[in-house]
Amino acid sequence: MSIKPPILRPGATVGIVTLGSPLRADIIDARIRTLEEMGFRVVLGNYVYAADGFLAGTDRERASDFMMMIEDPDVDLILPVRGGVGVAGILPYLDYNAIARNPKIVTGYSDITVLLNALYQITGLITFHSLLLISFTAAEPAYNFNQFFEATSVEAAVRPITNPPGMPLIGRVPGNVTGPIVGGNLRSLTDTLGTPYEIDTRDKILLLEETHEPINAVYRMINQLKLAGKFRDCLGIVMGECTGCEVAYGKTYDDLITEFIVPLGKPLLTNLASGHGYYKAAIPIGAVVRLDAAAGELTVVETVVSSS
């Protein structure tokens, strides 16, 4: 049984946390100003500006910031500044019972993927593969904000997930399946294998996207998921973009999909605007969706936030 976080309302309080890699203070401050100009109240974690090499504080420190936002009754949305690396390090230090008792909207992509899926798998909380704090800038396309707010601020029983105009979803293997959607960043998901937070794809629809990896490295990660049974167990597959991924040995990302994903025979949609791409669809991790590959459609078929 999934847990739906309370709906995001105008003037809500946003808890800012840095859960992986650090980000420059001037960038954080500029994005906070954008949030405030949009009418949100902002609360900062104790380690938002921390920086220790490639991590923003210790695992325990970053986890304590997340739990502070969970336990603050005024916080409605927990918004990580970025992903980077290291988000998996906080997972052992989270209080999942407290999270289940105090559901909040948690959003992000990139390395935040591991948190989104762990929260859903352990507590049943629906999370959102969507915007990070770095996304809150005037340069961000309106599509991304529309997707985010339609997902978090509207209690709708059915919501089509559509790409922006001129960027169609492409069905590559026909089929019509319905189930919870999980996944996100390919490298982050691969890194969970063999851990207590290994992604569970049984009877799920699996979403994958990646950025700035050579195609031979993308192949290795896809093959590792295959050997771990993640494609065998899933109902269907949604492939997002592989932004900035380098052609390797003459092979492209589309070649990998054609040669290694299509033969799996699972209903398959490709070309979803997601994660690291310029356009970012809002995907509710853990929510039941319908994947109709023949029609090129992906539809959320349950409410994902609660107004009660």
Paired tokens of 250: 């003459």
Neighbours of 228 (CB within 10 A): 18
- Which active-site residues does the annotation give? 110, 209, 276
Paired tokens of 134: 């770095």
Contacts within 8 Å (CB) and 24+ apart, 188-191: 188/83, 188/87, 188/88, 188/110, 188/111, 188/113, 188/114, 189/113, 189/114, 189/117, 189/225, 190/221, 190/224, 190/225, 191/88, 191/114
Q: Rounded to whole angstroms, how far apart are CA atoms 43 and 41?
A: 7
283: nearest Cα among 152, 100, 97, 140: 152
Q: Rounded to whole angstroms, how far apart are CA atoms 135 and 139?
A: 9
Contacts of 107 (CB under 8 A, 6+ apart): 77, 78, 79, 80, 127, 128, 129, 130, 131, 132, 148, 152
Contacts of 250 (CB under 8 A, 6+ apart): none
